[in-house]
Amino acid sequence: MNLRLEGAWPVPLGLLAGLVVIGLIVLTYRTLAGAIDRRSRLTFLALRVAAGLLLLLLLFEPVLSREHLRTEDLSVIVLLDRSASMVVPDSYGGRPRYRVAAEFITAPETVLADQLGGDLKLLTLAFDRSTRRATPGELEGRTAPEGILTDLFEAIGSAGKALPKSEIVGVVLLTDGAENAGGDAREAARALGLPIYAVAFGSGSEGRESRRDLAILSVEAPETAFAENTVVTEVAVRSTGYDLTDAGNRRVRLVLTEDDREVASQWIEFTDNGVPVRVSMRFVPAGVGRHGYVATIATRGDEVIPGNNRRGFSITVQDRRASVLYYDATLRWEAKFLRDFMARDPALDLTSVLHAGQGRQIVNGDPHGADLSKGLPVTAAGLEKFDVVILGDVEAKAVPAESLELLRARVENGGGLLVLGGYHTFGPGGYAKSPLAEALPVFIESSDGQRDEDLILSFTPAGRVHPILSGLATFFTGDPLPELKGLTEVKREKPGAQVLITARGTGGGKESIVLAAHRYGEGRALAFTGDTTWVWYRSKDLGGPDGLYRRFWGQALRWLLEKDPETEQTGDPLVVFTDEASYRIGDRVRLRARLRDEEGDAVTGAVLSATVNGPEGEREIALASLPRAPGQYEAQFPALIPGDYAVVVTATQKGAAGGRAGTAFKVEEMSIESDDIDVDTARLEAIARLSGGRFYSSPQATALAEDLRGSLVGMVEHQEIPLANTPLFFALFVALTGAEWYLRRRRNLL
């Protein structure tokens, strides 16, 4: 409690005034010295002095302030994770995570129930994809979680709205840290304005060996294939927690189906616990169009996550072989091996041109009616004959400028381009100021040169997830690592481009770009700055002809060949498609549309809206234009409810109808929830730190109660009472003066 004066008078003046008042009152009462006894005189004097000082004090506007700790009507919000990953029995004695979390709330010996229940209320909210009040069965751990997704972002936001924030001491988050619904819990924690005390349940990668589980980790398949050609799909399967000395545990059958029809199968044998086994599945798609497939392994009764035994994917089958034009000016090893490889690929129709000097070109393969006397076609119609153009060690001045401009336009309109390294390409080849430079994913400078030394290659983070390098991680993490014997320097990638492979000298040194990729308009372009991948072909350690070499170049060429449906010449002004035919629960659906006018030119500035009709009803979604792709529009939204979906897109331009088109997709009864069941301590630590709370790695978090009580410091109430405006002061003044009057009257002094 504190008393302060808020009047305009200075305190010294107030003290002086008080002394004057006391002096005047004393002088006044000296006249009564002979009339009454000394004791009565002192009583009268004290009453008069007190009344006078009280009146004087009111002139200085006294304010009484006090603070006290609120404990009434205060609550702790508990967020209880009820997603499917919480059923994993890897938490404290092999018990499921959800049961241990429930005991943390309700068991008598635990921190929350025992130490906080008397002073603070507990409000427990259960969450998975959504947040709601926890049921008794959830609180007591009697029912297993079935949530198909984990939305920490939504749960944290809901905690801040459950009660007025002035009544919330803090938020206790009980979870394994998974987040797969698309939000960012760290941003929600930063914006909450309340401390979050995050408690982690479960084990990380170090606990995988104790979990009994079979899982399909990934399916790596080409996005496009060609009719009557064999498709090779690589599936990674892992076994953990099983005794592999038992023959029954060592083997599992992998089945590939389309519409419940088996198209391929293979037995897998595990040799090491926790180590993925990669197998190739070969099949021929039945007919042209988009096909949806599901890879499945049988579920065992003791698996911790049975939902990861299935994985879906789709492939678009085209009705012809892809035509590739390869133009080089040097009879070098790289050209020889690459041409031989493409000539043997049944999906490719290769036409190669070798610049023999003095204006002569040696053509191998079918030119498809194009004039190749200048190396590259000199007409747009000639370039339209080829799906992909590969440009080797050819100087820019050896190619007509109009051909380079036509090639740039061909890529923009849906073609594929691969430029290889060499002594006469990129900057050293004079391409810095050529029309083709615009289509490449890297900036080209005339000062760029050649780096002649042995170089060790490595993936970038973007490369690890890019389809060109899918399934090649074992080559780039093993021994020996892939090498090049030199490359053509390029200094940096363009905005929006992805660097997939970089290189350093065997003794270290600076990092150089080896492979960069981007979409240019409706087409795709690759810059590969090396020129000695033939050493991979001849290396037994890298798998020889059928190892890294075949898979890298095969996947690179197929990425260039993968046409989005809107690039096909359908003749329709509006074309609509999704990036996949089927999705898992939690995946992002990417809906795209292409709009052209009657002349075939891209239409920009139109308004496109989609009506999505599915199991949960109908909803409207707006498509946004893509700035780097004129005439193309996109929308993304989460796949949440299994079932079949129909999409109709309507386009309007300047108030007039621009067309209607539709597509369809399916959401499988599979969720991404089981993709990663390791506890995410890094995310939980960040959530706690950003909110001003604390992270605990164990339910035996004995400091939690103390930390929550520490948060009560922020719940102190501050109260101020202006005494001059209260009846108390007036009543006291009347009492003092009234007492003096009463005593005077009794003494007959009035």
Per-residue model confidence (pLDDT) at position 720? 65
β-pairing verdict for 168-175 and 196-200 = parallel
Domain with CATH 3.40.50.410 in the chain: 75-208+677-715
Per-residue model confidence (pLDDT) at position 30? 63
Cα distance between residue 461 and residue 705, in whole Å: 41
Cα distance between residue 595 and residue 603, in whole Å: 6
The sign one gets for the Cα dihedral 162, 163, 166, 171 is negative
Helical segments of 345-436, H only: 380-383, 401-412
Q: Domain 322-563 adopts which CATH fold?
A: Rossmann fold (3.40.50)
SS3 content of the chain, % helix, strand, coil (to 5): 30, 35, 35
**What is the DSSP-derived secondary structure letter of residue 603?**
P
Q: How many Cβ atoms from other residues are within 10 Å of residue 524's Cβ?
A: 24
- Under 8 Å CB-to-CB from 291, ≥6 apart: which residues? 258, 285, 314, 315, 316, 317, 581
Domain with CATH 2.60.40.150 in the chain: 212-318
- One of 3.40.50.300, 3.40.20.10, 3.20.20.70, 2.60.40.1930 is the CATH number of 570-673, namely 2.60.40.1930
* Residue 395 near residue 367, CB atoms below 8 Å: no
* Residue 428 near residue 450, CB atoms below 8 Å: yes
The sign one gets for the Cα dihedral 601, 602, 606, 612 is positive
Per-residue model confidence (pLDDT) at position 569? 40
Of 301, 358, 305, 307, residue with least CA distance to 329: 358
- Under 8 Å CB-to-CB from 589, ≥6 apart: which residues? 578, 579, 580, 583, 636, 637, 638, 639, 665
Token digits of residue 170: 């803090």
Q: For tokens 């129909």, name the residue.
A: 646
Mean pLDDT by 10 residues, the chain (750 residues): 64 66 66 64 70 66 62 82 89 84 74 59 91 92 90 95 89 92 91 93 72 86 77 88 88 93 94 86 86 90 84 82 90 90 86 83 90 90 93 92 92 92 93 93 91 91 84 80 91 91 87 93 92 90 85 89 53 80 87 83 88 93 85 90 93 74 87 83 94 85 74 57 67 71 67
* Residue 59 near residue 9, CB atoms below 8 Å: yes
Cα distance between residue 515 and residue 502, in whole Å: 7
Q: C-alpha distances in angstroms, 243 versus 189, 213, 424?
A: 42, 12, 58
* Residue 363 near residue 325, CB atoms below 8 Å: no
Of 746, 748, 739, residue with least CA distance to 44: 739
Helical segments of 86-207, H only: 97-106, 111, 136-139, 152-161, 185-192
For 34, phi then psi, to 5°, come to -95, -10
Q: What is the CATH number of domain 75-208+677-715?
A: 3.40.50.410
Cα distance between residue 127 and residue 122, in whole Å: 16
**What is the DSSP-derived secondary structure letter of residue 300?**
P
Domain with CATH 3.40.50.880 in the chain: 322-563
Per-residue model confidence (pLDDT) at position 94? 78
Q: Where in 466-573 does DSSP place strands (E)?
A: 483-484, 487-488, 498-505, 508-520, 523-528
* Residue 395 near residue 430, CB atoms below 8 Å: yes
Cα distance between residue 716 and residue 709, in whole Å: 12
Q: Domain 212-318 adopts which CATH fold?
A: Immunoglobulin-like (2.60.40)
Strand partners, 135: none
Per-residue model confidence (pLDDT) at position 566? 43
Cα distance between residue 671 and residue 83, in whole Å: 11
Domain with CATH 2.60.40.1930 in the chain: 570-673
Cα distance between residue 489 and residue 502, in whole Å: 11
Q: C-alpha distances in angstroms, 8 versus 60, 119, 332, 662, 721?
A: 7, 44, 96, 77, 18
Q: What is the DSSP string of 119-141?
A: TSEEEEEEESSSEEEPPHHHHTT
